[in-house]
Structures are given as C-alpha cells and as structure tokens.
Structure 1
Amino acid sequence: MTDTNLKKQWSEHYQSSPVQLEKMSKVNGLISAFNANIDAVIKVSGKDIEALIRTSNMEPDSILAEGEKSIKTNADAIRGLIKCFKSGIADEWLIHEKSVFEWLNSTIGYDNLQMGGQGGIVANAMAVCGVENVYVHTASSPKEQSKRFLDLNNLKNVNRFGELQKAHTINRTEDVPLIHWIIEFDVGDTLTINGESFTCPKSNRFIATYDPLNLKLAIDDAFDQKMSDPSISFEYIILSGYQMLSNELPDGSSGIERINESIKIVDNWRKNNPDSLLHFEIASTQDKTIRKYLVDKLAKEVDSIGFNERELIDILEIIGEGNLAEQCDKDTGSSNLFRGMLKVFDYTNCPRIQLHMFGLYVTLQRKRYRISPIQNRKGMQLAANIAATKAGTGAINSRDDLLWSANEQVSDIGLNELRSLFETVSQLFGPNNLVEEGIFTNDDLEIIAVPTIIIDKPITLVGMGDTISSISLVGAR
C-alpha cells in the first residue's frame, strides 16, 4: 500500500475521535494524584545574568566553581544557571533553603506561571475532556497554585476545611507555593564574568525547584479522607509524582517508606470502588534505588503503566537488561524499544503497558484485557489528536478546540516507525496487519500501535507524555 493510501486509511481510523471524546463525559470520576506545582517560566539574557551577579555582589569564583548539583545559597542558583548557559544543557537542581526561594522570587521573578507536575497536568486534561468529576490532589494549594487549574466545575480539590470545592477557586492561605523556576536562555547569547566571555551553544533551560512537599511525596490528609468516603465514586486513578523521591530524604526519612505509605492510601481508596483502574505514569527517576523499588513494587500492583523512550531505557537499566538499554539508547527506534517493552512486560507482569515515543504510540497488554484492542486504538488516536492540538495551539483549555488537529494526517515518521515495528513483530510472532490496522493479537498478548500527528513547529511540548497516557487510557471506551 502506498503512503498516500496508508495515510488515507489511518485518517479513516482517526474519524472515531469525536465519538471517543464524547464518551469521556460518561466517566463518573477520576483521581489524579499526587504531584502538582507551579512552573514559573522566564527567559533571561546574558546581560540579565550579569546584572543579577552585579547587584547581588557575587564573587566570580563562587559562581564559576564546580560543585554539588544542589542549591543551598543564592550563589548556587546562579552557579547552576551559568553552568547550563555555558554548555547549552538542561538540568534541574533542588532548592534546599526557603531563603533562596524567597530571593529568587524577589529578584528573578517570572514571565508567566503555568501548571506543573504530572498530577496537575493530567487533572486539567481530564477535566477539559469532560470527565464528570476529576479529583486532584495537591500537597499545597495557595491561590497561586489553584489558579493554574482550569476554571471548570468538574475539577475539584479539598479546601482548608476538608470540603470539596472547585479547584480553581481554592486558597489555602497557610500553604506555601511550590515553584519550579524554568529559566530559559537562547543560543548565541553571550555572558561575561570577570572579563571572561561565554557564548551559549544551544537554547535550553535551567530548572531551580523549590518543592519541599512533593520532594517527600507529602499526601494531604484531608484529601485522603475525602477519597476514602463511600460517597465518592470513581473509575480511574492516575498515579504520578514519585520521581522526586530519594532513598534517604533530606529529613532523614525513607523514600521507600513513602512509597509504601502511598500504596496503602490508594488501596484504601479503592475499597469503595474495587473495579477502578489504577494507572502509574512513570517519570524519569534519578535515584536508582527508588527507581528499582517502583518497578519491583508499584509497577507490579497497578493495572497499567506508561512511559516514554528515556523512561523505558531507565527501567531496562535496573532490571538486568543493560545491553538492551544501550542498544535502545544508540538506536531509539520502535524495533529496539518494542523488544524493551517485552522485557518490562515479562518482568513486571503488569497487564497493560504503554510507550509514547516520537511519532508512534504502542500498547502491549495481556490477552482479553479489560480494554479491548480496538478500544485502545481509539483512545490512542484521540490522545494523538489532542496532543497535536496542544503542540500546535499551545494549550488545551477549551473542549471546543480539542480536535483542532482532526484534519491533519499521520506523520511519515510515524508510518516508518510502524513499519519497523511490523517487521519486528513478524520476526517474533509471525504475520500481522499492524501497518494497516494497528492491531495484532495471539493467544497470549495484544499489541496496539498508532502512528501519530507531528506538528512541525510546536508551541509547547510541556506535559505531553502525561496528556497522551491519560487520554489514551480514559478515552478508550
């Protein structure tokens, strides 16, 4: 089949998206937990950095020195920014002192505030897609955080009295803002310190994070109690926010114990909704002990997990598949990544796993899983449409605009990755019709693959994976 005919066939498959979007409004409830924060985005120039150094009377030696990737002083924050600027790299350092947070707030500020954290991003996506009741957990909800939630009546959190309220309107005045500064800089810009000039080789960003609560996976007691109430009905729980944990937390407590405590809490929520589907969105977790425990413990207890290419490679590294991880790192195509998915599928015994990679989404699940292959494909197509809309317009804040990309064709990159997957599946499992239909089943498993729409000049890619995973799952009705 020619590319033209193949794209036409996939356009016909994608015609299900409006119906699937409408079905999402039939979902009676969903919990999105645990992490939400404020992303404070600002673009700085070399001259801005020079002025900040000058007005703060910082010593050049202290801000140019190598050292620990953490922020305990004002100079550490500038040191991290300069390191990224000089190399054109992205990095994230944690702020450990409230005084530094206050200094950044007063000196650097921001150009705009936006929702941050997988839990918050998923909650906004589910609410705008029409889920009847979206319950979002926040470790902290001052006005600055709550205003990042969409102004929708179906998106709810608990207020300071433990009562459900529209999340957008909550102001827990005693709560501290949890801010991740995203400080962006441009290629070719120049910074001069103590007579030495540095030119930025690549546009990128430095993230300075003040988030003492999500850092330890703090769980709001009032929210916990409300979700345990028998009157609260929900069909899905989307879990995220574990990636900031470390084996030993700054206060000396155990990251593993925080994971165990969260599992007990979620199990308690599900007692009144035993048929609810539990999805774990895996994010890039730097602490290998925590990463291993999440895969060994949490991933084996949930109904579904989601990850991108990098996160899949990270998992392979800690389950004894180092060679395959290296292969995937060198050639991050669908063939290698699918072989990696099979390893994760066998290791975790999780009944449904989903990969979202550039140009292609792939779901691997047990035979006769509760969501059929055709339902999965329809959900994944809806997710691809909405993700393309987010990339192309910069936001998905209005339900009327969610299918902005509905007339776009699937990408050549996606079709090529699908063909590569077809060849690998043919070698491993025999003849299949993945290229035309995106579905393969045998006596043991089901494979669903969808080529996606790629926007050439995206306005934003922030939170894309969380949006894709959640809509793929909940939109598969």
Structure 2
Amino acid sequence: MDIEEWEQRHAEAFYNAKEALPYLDGMFVAYNSNIDAIRHLTEEDLSKLVGFFDESDIQDRVAAYPREIAEPLDFVARLLISMREGKAAEVPAYTADIHEWLKEHLGFDYARMGGQAGIISNLLGRLGLKKVVAYVPWLSEEQAEYFTATGNILHPKVENGKVLLKPPGEAFKPGIGSKVNWILEYSKDMNVTCAGNTFKVPRDNRLIISSRPKWLRLDMDKQIYEQLDTLLPVDGAMLSGYQMIKEEYEDGSTYKDYVENSVKVIEKLKSLNPELRIHVELTSIQNRLIRKAILTEIVARHVHSLGLDTVEVANALNVLGHEELSYSVIRKGENGIMSLYQGAVQLMKDLDLERVHVHSLGFYICILAKGHPLTLKEHRDSLLFSSVLAAAQALNGNIENLAEAEAGLEVPVSSIGLEDLENFQLYCTGRKLCTPDEFEYGYVYGSEHDAILIPSKVVERPKATVGIGDTISAGAFVAMLAKIKQKHSGK
C-alpha cells in the first residue's frame, strides 16, 4: 500500500465531500451535552495529587478498580489505571463533591462544549450545514452559551403549546443547573511513580469524570415528541448519551422506561421520514446491564449505523456473549486488527445494522451491509473526509469552518496504521476475502457484507484528544448522507 497514494486519496475525498455537503437539508443531534472543564496534567500535577493520600491506600484502590468516583481516592486510582494503560476512560460521579474537590485542589485550564451531541452539533454547524437541530433535555442558560454562534444551530422550544426552533441562547430552560465534566488529559512518556512502582505513559489520552446529577434524565419533552415533525426536514440523526441511563431512579422509574421512550423517538423519526438514517455513537459504559440494554434494545433493529472505538468494540462484544473475541480485541497484539475486523462484523450481525464504523489509532474500519446505496469508493471518501477533519481537530484543537479543516490535509497518513493494514492484507488474501489489487484500494468484498479499511492521518502531538472520535464518526456519517443526496439529485 503506497502512502503517497493514500495522501492523494485523502485530498480528493475532502474536496468531494465539501462539494456534496450543501445537498443536505439538515441533521438532528441528541441528547448529551455538558461543559467540559479541561486540565492538561503535568508530572508535577500528578505528584501533587498522589501526595494527598497514603500511597498504599492508592495501590489498594487501584487493585479494587473503582467503577464510579465516590471520593477523591477513587479519582486518583482511576487516573493511574488510565495512564498505565494509555487508554481513554469515562467514569461516572453521582455527586458534586468531586467537582468541588478538583476545583480546590487542581483547577482547570479552560472550559468548552462537551458531550457527544454538543460536540457533534458544533462541528456540523461549523461545516456549514443548512440546519443542525440539537436537542438537550437539560439545556441550561450557561450550557447554551457553549453552542457555536454560526446561526444554523437550532434547538426546539415549547411556546404556548407549539414547538419552535430557536437559537440555543433563546431555547434554554430557566433555573436548571449545568452538567460539568472534568477532562484530565495526559501525554505520552510522562513518568509516573506511586508506591515504589514507576512507569511511562504509553500514549496521549485522557480520563473523563462524567457528572451524573440526580436530576439528569435522558428523555424527550412530551410536547416536543408529539410535534417532532417541526424538526424536519432533516436527512439524518446522530444520537448519543444513552450511557447516562441508570438502572433505577428515586421516583421508582427504571432504565426500561427510558429505553422504551428512546426507541419511541427513533421509530417516530423514521415514520416521519422513511429515508432518514440514524447513527448511534457509543461510548464507555461501566454498567453491563445498561450497556447490553442499549445495544440489544435501542441499537439492534432500530438504527442503521453504529460508531465506536476499539475499547467500545471489546465491551460490546463482551456483553453480547463473545468473550473470547472481546479479549482478543482488547489484547491487541500482532493480530489485533484481524480481531477488530471480526468483532465489527459480529456486531453488524448481532445488531442487524447497515453500517458499523470503528475508529482506531492509525486506521478506520467500516463494515457495510450488502445493498447500501453508495459504492465502496464513495464510502471510502466519507471515511477519508473524516480522517482529514480529525487531523485538523487534533492539530489546532478545534475546527472553525471547512476552510480551516483543510489544515488536516497537511498532516501525514499514519505509517503505523498503514503497517496494520498491510498485516491485515495478508489475513484477507490468505482467506481469499479479497485480492491484493482490491485491498490496495481498501476494499473487502464479502458474501454477506463489504468492508473498507483506510489508514488515517495522525497528529504526533495533538493539542487535544477530546472529541476526536465524535469528529471522525460525525464527519464520515454526514459525508455519506451528503453523497446519497447528491446522487439522488442526479448531479
């Protein structure tokens, strides 16, 4: 596989997608947004945090692997685990105590829009789409300020029994609190010492302390649900935030109520526009019952597309009963990409999806059901477009518009990602899944599905890592929808 050829393909794909985007009428994005308080950790910061506790207590808590942040010691333990493995993690906190402790003992560098739906809405707004309808059940006045003021981002608001689309700054709920998450970013090669153990951080990544206040409900206002047609026209929906669903609530309701309501929204959207395609963006979900319910009751059979990273593939496979394959994905090793491919195929089968998009460092895999309305090249172009967007995001920390996104074209294609794909080529050709010539284009033709694998652009020292996965998934999904609309228009 020639790296220069992939550079050229990225450029061609970027401009093809840029030309197609104006064909879209709009996108609907829900449910989760929050305010991210971001701190880039130094070795001095880490030493200070460890110094607040007895190191043997930290070691014991690391071994216990806390699943939620109930006190500061849980936070330090999960931070060390994340740094040791170099893996992103998102851990819930159900009280404001840890927020207050971090403000007092650490502080943040800056704050910005957070939450998958918030990040995706701002990205799509900046890409110049005609209309981006964002919906956040807990839109506070403070939260509304973090939506970008591009004029094309709108939020439903009930006035005199009617649903109107208004800029977020005019659509918030008075008196509601804000959801604030902490993003602790760390860098590759940081030295970490605790309880006599020393290690180097293997890669840039982050730990997210996800605020889950008791008043949080992942639901849709009844009047907005009844008047969902006011959101139209939209070509696609990107839904996320389901990880915030809890098993039980203080009022006696359970996760089943919120799962059922979520499915009703999806089914109503599809009934209003049978051509509408729906994508769910997965994230880290600690609770196995909720993780399985999201996959088997919300995603399976109801949506078209699923976006996730390597860890999320492993976690999904695990709750669906594929423990051995899950372990193989998470363990990586020299056959890691083969396991990831097999895992993505398994998710497509189990969940009856049209499309599964996996983003991994250095390459993306997209599994497609037979009969999809685009050619493999057109799908590949959408993935390459998202690779350019992600590179621009990592390079500059954000993307203000499509012109700025072109900066991603200057970022080199990952040689490590290319090497992973070359290893996968041996696997594919050995099993006669594709010919060497087909794989040079990134294509795998299967009897029940097709697949595309591309090497992606990777920034060696990213300004920020939060939101890059959302940028990849949203960029690819919206470019795909734009191409479908462009083809239907006959241009």
TM range (shorter): 0.7 to 0.9
The aligned counterpart of 1:460 is 464
The residue that corresponds to 2:210 in the other structure is 209
Task: Give yes or no for the alignment of 1:450 onto 2:454.
Answer: yes
Residue number in structure 2 paired with 1:79: 73
**Letter of the structure 1 residue corresponding to residue 73 of structure 2:** R
Q: What is the match of residue 489 of structure 2?
A: none
Distance 1:200 1:164, change over 3 A: farther
Structure 1 residue 114, shift from structure 2 partner: 1.3
Deviation at residue 248 of structure 1 after TM alignment:
3.2
How far, CA to CA, are the matches of 2:345 and 2:263 in structure 1? 25
| Deviation digits for residues 303-328 of structure 1 (CA, Å, limit 9, x no counterpart) | 11111111111122122221122222
Alignment match, 1:396 = 399
Deviation at 1:249, TM superposition (A): 4.3
For 2:407, what is the secondary structure of its paired residue?
coil
Residues 428 and 316 (structure 1), Cα distance of their counterparts in 2 relative to 1, 3 Å cut? farther
Deviation at 1:70, TM superposition (A): 4.3
Identity of aligned residues (%): 23
Instruction: Decide whether aligned partners of structure 1 residues 214 and 240 sit closer, same or farther in structure 2, where only a CA change above 3 A counts.
Output: farther
Q: Which amino acid aligns with 2:220?
A: I
Deviates more, 1:87-96 or 1:343-352: 87-96
Distance 1:8 1:117 in 2: 36
Secondary structure in structure 1 of the residue aligned to 2:113: strand
Displacement of 1:214: 8.6
Residues 274-332 of structure 1: CA distance to partner in whole angstroms, max 9, x if unpaired?
A: 21001111222211122222222222221111111111111221222211222222225
Query: Are 1:418 and 1:435, in contact at CA under 8 Å, matched by a contact in 2?
Result: no
Q: For residues 323 and 107 of structure 1, do their structure 2 counterparts lie closer, same or farther at Cα, with a shift above 3 Å needed? A: closer
Secondary structure of the residue that 1:22 maps to in structure 2? helix
Q: How does 1:262-411 map to 2 (within 5 A)?
A: 262-300=262-300, 301-331=302-332, 333-411=336-414
Letter in 1 for 2:153: L
Distance 2:186 2:354 in 1: 43
Amino acid across the alignment from 1:453: K
Contact 1:137 1:220 in 2 (8 A): no
Greater Cα shift, 209-218 or 363-372: 209-218
- After superposition, the C-alpha distances for 1:22-79 in whole angstroms (9 at most, x for unaligned) are 311221011111111111123577988999999xxx9989x9685865456xxx2x32
Indicate the larger mover: 83-92 or 399-408: 83-92
> Does residue 473 in structure 1 map to residue 469 in structure 2?
no
1:21 aligns with 2:24: no
CA distance, structure 2, for counterparts of residue 436 and residue 45 of structure 1 = 42
Give CA-to-partner distance per residue, 1:149-197, whole Å, 9 cap, x none: 1111111113574532223565533121101123467855889xxxx99
Q: Aligned-pair distance for 1:461?
A: 1.4
Q: 1:393 deviation in Å? A: 1.2
Q: State how far apart, in whole Å, the 2-side matches of 1:330 and 1:102 are.
A: 36
SS in structure 1 of the partner of residue 384 of structure 2: helix
CA distance in 2, matches of 1:201, 1:442: 42
Q: Distance in 2 between matches of 1:470 and 1:205?
A: 21
Structure 1 residues 209 and 17: alpha-carbon distance in aligned structure 2, compared to 1, 3 A threshold: closer
Q: Is the 8 A contact 2:434 2:444 kept in 1?
A: no
Task: Summarize the Cα distance change of 1:198–1:167 in structure 2 as closer, same or farther, 3 Å threshold.
Answer: farther
Deviation at 1:17, TM superposition (A): 1.0
For 2:441, the equivalent position in structure 1 comes to 437
The answer for the alignment partner of 2:117 in structure 1 is 119
Q: Return the alpha-carbon distance in structure 1 between the equivalents of residues 79 and 368 of structure 2.
A: 43
TM-score (norm 1): 0.84
Q: What is the number of equivalent residue pairs in this alignment?
A: 461
Task: Measure, in 2, the Cα distance between the counterparts of 1:153 and 1:25.
Answer: 16
Residues in 2 aligned to 1:440 and 1:92: alpha-carbon distance in whole angstroms: 33
Query: Following TM superposition, by how much is the alpha carbon of 1:395 offset from its aligned partner in structure 2, in angstroms?
Result: 0.8
Contact 2:433 2:445 (C-alpha < 8 Å) held by counterparts: no
**One-letter code of the match for 2:398?**
A
Instruction: Measure the CA separation in 2 of the matches of 1:225 and 1:472.
Output: 31
Structure-2 separation of matches of 1:17 and 1:475: 9
Matches within 5 A, 1:42-121: 42=39, 66=61, 70=68, 76=71, 78-84=72-78, 88=83, 92-98=90-96, 110-121=108-119
- Partner SS, residue 163 of structure 1: strand
Verify the 8 A CA contact 1:39 1:181 in the aligned structure 2.
yes
**Does the CA contact (< 8 Å) of 2:16 and 2:381 recur in 1?**
no
Deviations 1:183-238 (A, max 9, x none): 467855889xxxx9999975976544333279542434455355x12562111011
CA distance in 2, matches of 1:129, 1:288: 36
Q: State the secondary structure of the residue aligned to 1:403.
A: helix
**2:181 equivalent to 1:180:** yes
Question: Aligned partners of 2:206, 2:412: CA distance in 1, in Å?
Answer: 32
Choose 99-108 or 22-31, whichever is displaced more. Answer: 99-108
Structure 2 length as normaliser, TM-score?
0.82
1:20-39 paired onto structure 2 within 5 Å: 20-39=17-36
Q: Shift of residue 144 of structure 1?
A: 2.4
Secondary structure (helix, strand or coil) at the match of 1:406 reads: helix
Q: Distance in 2 between matches of 1:197 and 1:444?
A: 53
Q: Does 1:40 align with 2:68?
A: no
Q: Is the alpha carbon distance of 1:97 and 1:321 closer, same or farther for their aligned partners in structure 2, counting shifts above 3 Å?
A: closer
Equivalent position amino acid for 2:461 in 1: K
Distance in 2 (CA, whole Å) between partners of 1:52 and 1:471 is 37
